[in-house]
């Protein structure tokens, strides 16, 4: 049985939960991370020396890094539609996943810590405004992309890339900030909310 280590409020854990749902893959989840069992204990550090969730154990195979985990699960248990095998289609899917984990993730970091987590060390108004502007600019890149595909981020079908991107849109919509009108992003998000896996695991968390 696949074991998922990590609290369900974490956006990175929810990538794994939603992916399992899309794959009809049964799993057991254990609550780890701040507010739950500490990831700083030797037992957890032996699984992930970074002390971060999610981690999986798939019949003894241990893996961390959320996007690597969902790629592994899709490779092992998914079909060609969910994670395309054609080199260019796969590269396009990977491109949007890597962009989410790097550029997009970095753009929201300060604003999210300030506006959602109320972190005392993230209260500089200029830095909040700069982060919000940068976050909105990145969602604008998605707007252009979704206008071009007319459907999903990697093309006309739902793929693995829509999991990290969809959860990121969810976070953007759930954060109290001024958002430009992005109709293709809104239509895309609506499309995602119709998926049972999103309904079960897509809700915004705070970690
Ligand atoms: N790059 C990592 C980031 C993981 C990460 O930052 N996880 C956060 C929760 S979203 C965490 O474990 N925080 C420490 C804690 O909750 O104890 C991934 O994508 O898996």
Residue 131 tokens, joined: 């982060």
Q: How far apart are CA 103 and CA 180, in angstroms?
A: 19
Q: How far apart are CA 176 and CA 200, in angstroms?
A: 23
Distances (CA, A) of 27 to 137, 151, 167: 37, 30, 20
The Å distance, Cα 47 to ligand 1 centre, comes to 14
- Cβ-defined contacts of 122-131 (< 8 Å, 24+): 131/107
H or E stretch including 33? none
The Å distance, Cα 115 to ligand 1 centre, comes to 19
Cis status of the peptide bond prior to 54, with omega within 30 of 0: yes
Task: Quote the radius of gyration of the chain (alpha carbons, Å).
Answer: 17
Pocket of ligand 1 (CB under 6 A): 10-12, 33-34, 39, 52-54, 65-66, 207
Residue 140 tokens, joined: 């604008």
Pocket test for ligand 1, best of 52, 71, 167 (most atoms within 8 A of CB): 52
Residue 202's pLDDT band, with cuts at 50, 70 and 90, is confident
- 206, pLDDT greater than 80: no
For residue 50, list its beta bridge partners.
none
Q: Work out the angle between the directed axes of helices 87-99 and 162-174 (0-180°, nearest 10).
A: 30
- pTM for the full predicted model: 0.97
* Domains of the chain, each with CATH number or no CATH: 2-77 (3.40.30.10), 87-197 (1.20.1050.10)
For atom 11 of ligand 1, which residue has the closest CA? 52
Q: What is the pLDDT of residues 133-173, one digit of tens each?
A: 999 999 999 999 999 999 999 999 999 999 999 999 999 99
pLDDT at residue 160, rounded to an integer: 98
Q: How far apart are CA 168 and CA 176, in angstroms?
A: 14
Residue 204's pLDDT band, with cuts at 50, 70 and 90, is low
Residue 28 tokens, joined: 């057991």
For the segment 25-51, the average pLDDT, to the nearest whole number, is 98
Distances (CA, A) of 155 to 71, 84, 136, 164: 18, 11, 22, 15
For atom 5 of ligand 1, which residue has the closest CA? 52
């Amino acid at each position: 049985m696949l074991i998922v280590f990590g609290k369900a409020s974490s956006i990175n854990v929810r990538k794994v939960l939603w992916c399992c749902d899309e794959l009809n893959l049964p799993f057991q989840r254990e609550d780890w991370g701040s507010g739950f069992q500490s990831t700083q204990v030797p037992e957890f550090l032996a699984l992930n020396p970074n002390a971060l969730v999610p981690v999986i154990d798939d019949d003894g195979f241990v893996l961390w890094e959320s996007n690597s985990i969902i790629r592994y699960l899709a490779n092992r248990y998914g079909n060609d539609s969910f994670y395309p095998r054609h080199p260019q289609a796969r590269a396009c899917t990977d491109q949007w996943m890597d962009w989410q984990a790097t550029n997009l993730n970095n753009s929201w970091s300060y604003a999210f810590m300030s506006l959602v987590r109320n972190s005392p060390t993230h209260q500089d108004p200029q830095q909040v405004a700069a982060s919000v502007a940068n976050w909105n600019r990145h969602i604008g890149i998605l707007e252009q992309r979704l206008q071009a595909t007319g459907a999903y981020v990697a093309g006309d079908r739902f793929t693995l890339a829509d999991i990290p991107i969809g959860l990121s849109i969810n976070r953007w919509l759930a954060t109290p900030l001024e958002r430009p009108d992005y109709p293709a992003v809104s239509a895309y998000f609506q499309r995602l909310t119709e998926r049972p896996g999103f309904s079960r695991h897509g809700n915004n968390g705070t970690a």
